[in-house]
Amino acid sequence: MSYNIALNFEDGVTRFINCSGAESVVDAAYRQGINIPMDCREGACSTCKCRVETGTYSLGDYIEDALSKEEATSGYALACQMRPKSDCVVLIPTGSAACNTKQESYATRIAEVRRLSDSTFSLVLEGDALKGLEFLPGQYANLQVPGEEQHHRAYSFSTMNGGRDSVSFLIRNVPGGLMSNFLRERAQPGTALTMTGPFGSFYLRPRVRPILMLAGGTGLAPFLAMLDKIVAEGGSPYPIHLLYGVNTDRDIVEVERLEAFTHLLPNFTFAVCVVDANSAQPKKGYVTHHIEPSHLNEGEVDIYLCGPPPMVEAVAQHLRDVDVKSASFHFEKFSASIS
Ligand SMILES: Cc1cc2nc3c(=O)[nH]c(=O)nc-3n(C[C@H](O)[C@H](O)[C@H](O)COP(=O)(O)OP(=O)(O)OC[C@H]3O[C@@H](n4cnc5c(N)ncnc54)[C@H](O)[C@@H]3O)c2cc1C
């Protein structure tokens, strides 16, 4: 049996390896050209200590000086001894370059660019190399702006590609923005575009309790990929609620897809809220106005939050104000690029 192991490096790079249940993660990584820091290979030195974020595994043989009981019970393992019993996500506490690996680059071309609204584009890229692309639902890629070779922009995948040769994104139309101008004025099917990735620690964890998803604007994108994945994995036994906040009615996109998810996932519900007081939507105001106590489930909830930095900060502050400490809290800020 071979398992898919996502190695997440400190610099945000993610690489996937396959590892049989009989092989250690270190052996599998070296076999595939990824040199995880390691000295003894015997469970004695702790150089390869890592944190297993998701998945089941055996810890193997090691001495307690290398891995304490507390560390073992809180998810740490020695990669030279750890053997997977399922697909896993493993955090490697070093940069990817130190492991002789780096971000992957993909030559793609535009398959489709569509204006979903005044403020939002949908972009689909295609390319043979994308068939081999793997990423965790919620992660992002860097897209080079065509004609501006020094500049790239980060975008979250808005679908799971599942071995297909295409990937999709939801992109905000920022007036005067480099990528926005390109999409508005020059993007054509067939235009070449280099993509690197995947990156990021904002991704879906195992479903072990209710989930609250909070999206601001095109911050909806990673949740669409997460919901794709939950559908592909047969659903969730726990409720999943998505609050999708936008500025005006014209910014609302992909509602048909969200409605389709409510049919595919009986435990999934969503609501749209709009800042504009003249909105036709029943829920007006910011996302924080519409987080109900039942969504927070007295803290027994995993919260995922994605959107522009002010929205992310406002929600984090709101959760502090209502004094709810959720079982886990994951966020992605769509910060503007500095170049
Ligand atoms: C990890 C990550 C993931 C991201 N994922 C997505 C995604 O899935 N979809 C998406 O639309 N965006 C996403 N972003 C933001 C994206 O990378 C770009 O910053 C955004 O698309 C603007 O790019 P641009 O080239 O059009 O504008 P730029 O040329 O970068 O900016 C033009 C001007 O607008 C300002 N500006 C840029 N962004 C904003 C903003 N949001 N609000 C107000 N002013 C702004 C800039 O400061 C600058 O003055 C993500 C960012 C990060 C860090």
For ligand 1, which residues put their CB under 6 angstroms from it? Answer: 140, 153-156, 169-172, 174, 176-180, 200, 218, 221, 308, 332, 334-337
Closest by CA to 82, choosing from 14, 13, 20, is: 20
Expressed in angstroms and rounded, the spacing between residue 143 Cα and the centre of ligand 1 is 12
Q: Which domains does the chain have, with CATH numbers?
A: 2-99 (3.10.20.30), 104-199 (2.40.30.10), 211-333 (3.40.50.80)
Which of 13, 135, 337 gets mutated to test ligand 1 (max ligand atoms within 8 A of its CB)? 337
Expressed in angstroms and rounded, the spacing between residue 92 Cα and the centre of ligand 1 is 29
| Alpha carbon of residue 255 to chain centroid | 20
Write down the pLDDT at residue 39.
Answer: 85
Write down the pLDDT at residue 72.
Answer: 96
Is residue 104 very low, low, confident or very high in pLDDT (cuts 50, 70, 90)?
confident
Among protein residues, the one with the nearest Cα to ligand 1's atom 19 is 336
For the cut 90, the answer to whether the pLDDT of residue 80 exceeds it is yes
pLDDT, greater one: 65 or 102: 65
Expressed in angstroms and rounded, the spacing between residue 104 Cα and the centre of ligand 1 is 22
Write down the pLDDT at residue 304.
Answer: 97
222-232: average pLDDT: 97
Q: What is the pLDDT of residues 93-102, one digit of tens each?
A: 998 988 888 7
Write down the pLDDT at residue 291.
Answer: 95
For the cut 80, the answer to whether the pLDDT of residue 338 exceeds it is no
- Provide, rounded to the nearest whole percent, the portion of the chain with pLDDT above 70: 100
For the cut 90, the answer to whether the pLDDT of residue 164 exceeds it is no
Write down the pLDDT at residue 151.
Answer: 93
Write down the pLDDT at residue 62.
Answer: 94
Write down the pLDDT at residue 103.
Answer: 76
Write down the pLDDT at residue 149.
Answer: 83
Q: 295 and 212 in contact (C-beta within 8 Å)? A: yes
Write down the pLDDT at residue 130.
Answer: 93
Is residue 30 very low, low, confident or very high in pLDDT (cuts 50, 70, 90)?
very high
Write down the pLDDT at residue 161.
Answer: 75
Write down the pLDDT at residue 1.
Answer: 87
- Provide, rounded to the nearest whole percent, the portion of the chain with pLDDT above 90: 83
Is residue 12 very low, low, confident or very high in pLDDT (cuts 50, 70, 90)?
confident
Write down the pLDDT at residue 206.
Answer: 86
252-278: average pLDDT: 97
Average pLDDT, the chain: 94
Q: What is the pLDDT of residues 288-328, one digit of tens each?
A: 999 999 999 999 999 999 999 999 999 999 999 988 889 99
